[in-house]
Amino acid sequence: MKILAAMSGGVDSAVAAARVVDAGHEVVGVHLALSRMPGTLRTGSRGCCTIEDSMDAQRAANMIGIPYYVWDFSERFKSDVVDDFIAEYAAGRTPNPCMRCNEKIKFAALLEKALDLGFDAVCTGHYASIRLDDEGNRELHRASAWAKDQSYVLGVLTAEQLEHAVFPLGDTPSKDLVREEAARRGFTVASKPDSHDICFIPDGDTRGWLAEHVGSETGQIVDREGTVVGSHEGAHAYTVGQRRGLNLGVPAPDGRPRFVLEVKPKSNEVVVGPKEALAVAEIAGQRHSWAGLPPRHPESEFDVHVQIRAHADPVPATAVVSTSAETGEPEVVVRPETPLDGVAPGQTAVLYAGTRVLGQFTIDRTVSAVPVGA
């Protein structure tokens, strides 16, 4: 096959590219320039897709012996990922920009361009596996190394995208083995630290970045009954489940700490309450997709495991596709066997059947397991 290897400049994508070359494929390496500030250099393990990362990727491509290019996707990244991130926070939701990047950039814009240029597939260094069912249909599964499994952030992939995706690291038992292989191959990135945090906020100050891009407006902090208990200087700075940094002038009647339960952008209010009120008995969302074939009868309840964060434990649940009473549009409704903790609208819920990724949806609404006044 003719494969385009997406090379971030990290150890995983370098080893993945080398493995598809070893498998006999015709491979071309490409680094995605996503930053609107091309002079930015990476510091420590924060950020990605900078000039330093591009140079690291080029050195790896040269050692592998494959052609290497840098493609400028910064405009698309800004509109589909950064602007979406800002809009979601402005609407009081908590988005996952890595999900949007995989959905809109790596397996939409990049894959579309790759196919137009005659490539058969895109290869990345994600830890996930693609398997065939009994009828030859592709399925997305967890990686063998659950501690490093990245199938959650790939839950946005569609059946068509899976047909053109290659994940060479999915069966590798541990990240240490990948680093050892990189060292044997002589890659300078063998000991390079993993990137973390949000790549377009390399200094890690998400609160300050949002204040600059969303703006700050003083508002009220209220309890579940609507009583004012404090004030804030920008609702965007708060996320569901947050305890620290609350400017509360009225203590709880029982003296226990309070947590952020909800952010209301229209009224510019932050709702707080006891920790047990973070328990969620139901989540639902309309923006959903299936990773491969959809469930046979999604309009009837089916058993799943639901995962609401990249490193959260999957929770047994039932799911169903029903009609939203509010909009009349189809929505996925999930009811976990045990309440989920600290779920915020805007997060992504990924559904699993065993190790297989069934699909995902963006959470639009939640139902608390603890009624107001209880």
Catalytic residues: 101, 199
| Contact yes or no for 66/27 (Cβ under 8 A) | yes
Alpha carbon distances (Å) from 151 to 126, 154, 301, 320, 360:
8, 5, 23, 22, 11
Q: For the chain, where are the E strands, in sequence order?
A: 2-6, 26-33, 68-72, 121-123, 128-132, 138-142, 165-166, 219-222, 228-232, 259-264, 269-273, 279-285, 288-290, 302-307, 315-323, 330-336, 340-341, 348-353, 356-362, 365-368
Q: What separation, in Å, do the N-terminal and C-terminal C-alpha atoms of the chain show?
A: 61
Say if CB 287 and CB 348 are below 8 A apart: no
Distance CA 138, CA 293 (A): 8
Looking at residue 212, its amino acid is: E
Q: What is the largest CA-CA distance in the chain?
A: 68
CA distance linking residue 92 with residue 319, whole number of Å = 25
* Residue corresponding to tokens 């328990």: 279
Alpha carbons 3 and 5: distance in angstroms, whole number = 6
- Would strands 269-273 and 330-336 be described as parallel, antiparallel, or unpaired? unpaired
Residues 347 and 366: beta-carbon distance below 8 Å = no
Measured from the Cβ of residue 330, the count of other Cβ atoms closer than 10 Å reads: 13
Q: How far apart are CA 154 and CA 128, in angstroms?
A: 8
Q: What are the residues whose beta carbons fall under 8 Å from the beta carbon of 62, sequence distance 6 or more?
A: 68
